[in-house]
A and B are shown apart, each in its own frame.
Chain A
């Protein structure tokens, strides 16, 4: 299985601090994606990084990808209470229609 493993499983920080979540996976991939999920509802796509990219930014989000270590990290800077959610990495090794395999997720709590 190429299922990703994420750490930490849970992270609690103060508002304004930075939050870093890590993801490891097992097989070669086309891309790696990060999603956010609030309160067990739908997932929201945050960012996609292709296998030939090493770093990507989107607003307060910074994602890195190290294919040699089969790992990725998601950094959220200047956290806000609204960032409280579960964050999942998902790997895609397919062509065309994708077969996303999700990591176990990190539960992030931002304390005001």
Chain B
């Protein structure tokens, strides 16, 4: 199984809503990532989890809250988002071995904040 599964595929939420994005992988990868991608732009790193611990936070606003319940799951909790947060949110995973770090990406969640 070389898949990273993200749910939901599409999400529309109001600025006062609380929602969560979910990501799952069963490749035994111990590094998991959240990226944000705006239209016609490259993905931008948000968070990195290594062995279920948050290792990188790229100065992401606190309205985005990541969680890694176990080595296979990664969540992104959303609260009080702004319309400019509308984007494609991509989850990825990789092995921790140096030089073998190809990332496997999910299909993303297309988020629209209204």
Contact = CB atoms under 8 A, between A and B. Distances in A.
A43 B90 contact: yes
Contacts of A59: none
A33 to B, nearest CB: 6
A37 B108 CA distance: 11
A54 to B, nearest CB: 16
Interface in A12-66: 30-31, 33, 35, 40-45, 48, 50
A96 B102 contact: no
Contact of B94 (A35, A40, A98, A101): A98
Given A42-B107, A43-B105, A31 B99 contact: yes
B99 A50 contact: yes
B31 A97 contact: yes
A35 to B, nearest CB: 8
Majority SS at the chain B contact face: strand
B28 interface: no
A52 B99 CA distance: 11
Interface residues of A, number: 26
A31 B99 CA distance: 7
Interface of B: 4, 30-31, 33, 37, 39, 41-45, 48-50, 55-56, 88, 90, 92, 94, 96, 98-99, 101-108, 110
Interface of A: 3, 30-31, 33, 35, 40-45, 48, 50, 88, 92, 95-105
10 contacts: A31-B99, A31-B101, A41-B88, A45-B102, A45-B104, A96-B98, A98-B48, A98-B101, A98-B103, A102-B42
Given A30-B99, A40-B88, 16 more contacts: A31-B101, A33-B102, A35-B103, A40-B39, A41-B107, A42-B4, A43-B105, A45-B102, A50-B99, A95-B98, A96-B98, A97-B56, A97-B94, A98-B101, A100-B103, A105-B42
